[in-house]
Structure 1
Amino acid sequence: SETSSNDCSIWDSSSDLSPKKNGSGLGIFLKSSAMKTDAKNSFSFPCNGLIFLTLSRYLLYDVNPPEGFNLRRDVYIRVASLIKTLLKSEAWVLVLPPWGRLYHWQSPDIHQVRIPWSEFFDLPSLNKNIPVIEYEQFLAESGGPFIDQVYVLQSYAEGWKEGTWEEKIDERPCIDHLMYSKDKHEYYRGWFWGYEETRGLNVSCLSVQGSASIIAPVLLKNTSARSVMLDRAENLLHDHYGGRDYWNTRRSMVFAKHLRVVGDEFRRKYLHSTDEADRTDYNEDWTQMKVKLGTAVGGPYLGVHLRRKDFIWGHREDVPSLHGAVKKIRSLMEKHKLKRVFIATDAIVEETEELKKLLPEMVRFEPTWEELELYKDGGIAIIDQWICAHARYFTGTSVSTFSFRIHEEREILGFDPKTTYNRFCGEKERNCEQPTHWKIVY
């Protein structure tokens, strides 16, 4: 149960959760609050009685290639929930899928593939929620670039009848053309996050309809594979969207320190914004951070996420024109008595030039080529989000996952929801519904 005080899924923050190498070079699991050492080679799970220590199993995953950085962060939360379910029965480690080849990362001449999670997130923080390792560590531990079992997740070919939703999972023939092909040794080649030497030993398709933990029985009972990859993991739904479990995982996704430092320095230098003045003190240990909503004040600037590019034609009704956006920004600055506006946008050069003319007080984080090469497009997105998250008032773009992630960050920092859950309206939009407030749960 999510509210159980004896929660098996929350890891002891003092324990080192990375699998350690024993003599054979294979990973073994160290203790957490979910596993108490009873004897030299056994662990007890408070939820399940005594379990003998075995070598940990590895869960890997990937997402449909067109999906962007911010939706992928949401998929991580779903998979983390599955790991917590698995940990009630066996020792599992989540292998973090290297970043790369994302549609929105269009900066030319910059190598953006095989990027480890530590470039963007703080790994010790992730490890306080569930055990995770980078893909390179998995390669070193598992004895080679092989994944024992790949499951491609898909929907049901027959769809589902209106009003008869049920959670189910079945091994089925693959519906789409398989993105894996056999080599001369009968191993499967595929994208595998840009690691050309990686091979899958078995590939099969699972039709799935339901939340992430529905796949747990398959992993625990139907396969003995030590390493299992779930491809197209976005087909799994959240176990408890917006619940305590969800927020624990979301809070653990602390941005890498070097990116936060860059964002904080930019705030100080160009926006007269510091944590002390803004009442946005940050605890490096997320498990110790619990801020009452309405405590944070934010810096003396308006934070804006203005999504353009494919949103202009993809969401035409609820996305404003450039002039419409500027008009709204002006009225918000006036209302909240703010002299500066920080804008995070994917607008093309011509549009940003137009914005500068219409809004001379606009401030943007514009990286040099060296900074772009160092932080990459994902790092720049995080810096933008971090600065928006510290604004006195924020307004975003309708149904944008970039804006959603800023909402969550502001919720963690303790802002009044009225200053967070806001969006632009399209000029022709009749009913401009504002974003839902998903209250943080501790």
Structure 2
Amino acid sequence: MPSCSLLLCLLYLSCIIPRNHGDTGPEEEHCTGRTKYDIKENARFLLYDVNPGEGFNLRRDVYMRVANLVHHLNEREPWVLVLPPWVRMWHWKSRDVDQDRLKWSEFFDVGSLGKHVPVIELGDYIKKRAPIIDEVYHLQGVVDVTDWDTIMIDRCQRDTRFQQDAQGKWRHWYFGIEEIYAEKFNCLSFFGQLSLMATFLAENTTGKLIFLPRAENLLHGEYGEHSSLFWKARRSMMYAKPLRDAGDRFRREHLGSDDVTDNTVLRDWTTVKSQPRQAVGGAYIAVHLRRGDHLHVRGRELPSIKEAAKHVKKLLKKLALDKVFVATDGTEEEYQEFRNYLKKHQVHQFQPTRQEVGIYKDGGVAIIDQWIACHARYFIGSSGSTVSFRIREDREILGFEQSTTFNRFCGDEESDCEQPAHWTIVY
């Protein structure tokens, strides 16, 4: 064990000495995942990455796939999920804010993640172990899909940006951490269940740290009534407390909303075995009004600002409400236009100061938006939006009636558009 101060040594020992899962204590906040899992001495580690072009909320979905892959691996031997740092994404517009290599704890309660599978931040892993990846399996689709459950080491279908240097080490961007390199590299064609990937990793790899780039090629393994594992991963993704606190403060000050009044008090998800749909929500409608690039991709399925406001006005009258919360990636002009159409009503938006953006980062601001939206009496989202999808999941976790959750705006030319499928929580 390396030399350290007495305090650091005690913290280190508290993280590695096994204890009963039922034991809890304040020191567990310092140990990633300590509330349920210990990182065992013989554990192996799985790191992953996602296509750089993917957005924040899609990356959250990929996390759940990889977490459940690690869940399957732990049925065979101890594995730990290494959390890749968040790097600046194209839709994080605050250029004067440092948003490179952010830890997961900026956005999520890492202790809660660790109640589902053992996890560790990449930076913490590197501090404890050498920054060497033993084996890389660059995931790609199967060119000729003839069978479900196909997996094989294959030729690379496109340039992977991995390069082997003169010493035989595989170099790559690796989240901008220069000292990382890999000993072995392969492309892996895959189409199938997570359990198939778990079998491959357990039976065909021996390294301590395995890296799966392009993990969006993994698929959720369970659906419908068999999706309790998906929902365990999803429920474990508690937002970081400072972000929840900021959202709760906004709800109290601007929307007259709090958890006791709204019947949305959140319990430890590991103790919840069923949830009656008794959430009332704050006395406001929450709107996710997707604009930006989505207008080019799904323009026919999105309303004009005028039609969106007209629909919200009808809902306010129907539900006898007067307040609207707007989450949108639209411009300030679009937001003001929406407000002008609803002059007789209170329309609110979370607009952080520059200092708050520096604290919460763009990803945190997005989470605060979603946290406020998911507590509304009624929610209406945008077609095909992962943001709307995540808000609906949060409302399922909180116990809202589905009729108040699974709603979307119709495009101006859609007379009676199809509403979102009910992705119902399973315990």
Query: Structure 1-normalised TM-score?
Result: 0.85
Task: Say yes or no: does 1:426 pair with 2:411.
Answer: yes
* Unaligned residue ranges in structure 1 (runs of 5+): 1-19, 34-52
Q: Residue in 2 aligned with 1:320?
A: 303
Q: 1:42-101, CA deviations, whole angstroms, 9 ceiling, x for partnerless residues?
A: xxxxxxxxxxx7611000001111111111111111111111111111110000111112
Query: Does the aligned pair in 2 maintain the 1:83–1:92 contact within 8 Å?
Result: yes
Query: Does the aligned pair in 2 maintain the 1:291–1:413 contact within 8 Å?
Result: no
Q: Residue in 2 aligned with 1:237?
A: 219
1:32: Cα distance to partner?
7.3
Q: Which residues in structure 2 correspond to 1:15-414 (within 5 Å)? A: 30=18, 55-142=42-129, 144-157=130-143, 159-160=144-145, 164-242=146-224, 243-283=227-267, 285-289=268-272, 292-360=275-343, 361-414=346-399
Distance 2:183 2:47 in 1: 14
1:291: Cα distance to partner?
5.9
Letter in 2 for 1:231: P
1:328: Cα distance to partner?
1.0
Distance 1:109 1:167 in 2: 46
Cα 1:330–1:75 shift into 2, 3 Å: same
1:190: Cα distance to partner?
1.8
Distance 2:125 2:63 in 1: 17
Letter in 1 for 2:326: I
Moved over 4 A (4+): 27-33
Distance 2:60 2:236 in 1: 12
1:165: Cα distance to partner?
4.3
- 3-state SS of paired residue (1:64): coil
- 3-state SS of paired residue (2:315): helix
Aligned-residue CA RMSD in angstroms?
2.0
Distance 2:232 2:357 in 1: 31
Q: 1:362-413, CA deviations, whole angstroms, 9 ceiling, x for partnerless residues?
A: 1000000110011001101110000001000000011111011101100111
Query: Does the aligned pair in 1 maintain the 2:142–2:150 contact within 8 Å?
Result: no
1:292: Cα distance to partner?
3.1
Letter in 2 for 1:194: G
Cα 1:184–1:260 shift into 2, 3 Å: same
Cα 1:374–1:78 shift into 2, 3 Å: same
Letter in 2 for 1:83: V
Query: Does the aligned pair in 2 maintain the 1:126–1:252 contact within 8 Å?
Result: yes
1:337: Cα distance to partner?
1.0
Identity of aligned residues (%): 48
Q: 1:402-426, CA deviations, whole angstroms, 9 ceiling, x for partnerless residues?
A: 0111011001111001000000011
1:28: Cα distance to partner?
6.7
Cα 1:200–1:118 shift into 2, 3 Å: same
Deviates more, 1:395-404 or 1:214-223: 214-223
1:148: Cα distance to partner?
1.0
Q: 1:308-346, CA deviations, whole angstroms, 9 ceiling, x for partnerless residues?
A: 001101001211111111111111111111111000000
Cα 1:418–1:274 shift into 2, 3 Å: same
Deviates more, 1:206-215 or 1:270-279: 206-215
Query: Does the aligned pair in 2 maintain the 1:293–1:417 contact within 8 Å?
Result: no
Distance 1:290 1:332 in 2: 33
Query: Does the aligned pair in 2 maintain the 1:291–1:414 contact within 8 Å?
Result: no
1:348: Cα distance to partner?
1.9
Letter in 2 for 1:416: E
Distance 1:165 1:271 in 2: 52
* Unaligned residue ranges in structure 2 (runs of 5+): 1-10, 22-39
Cα 1:72–1:93 shift into 2, 3 Å: same
Q: 1:79-137, CA deviations, whole angstroms, 9 ceiling, x for partnerless residues?
A: 11111111111110000111112122122211111110001111111111110011111
Q: Residue in 2 aligned with 1:415?
A: 400
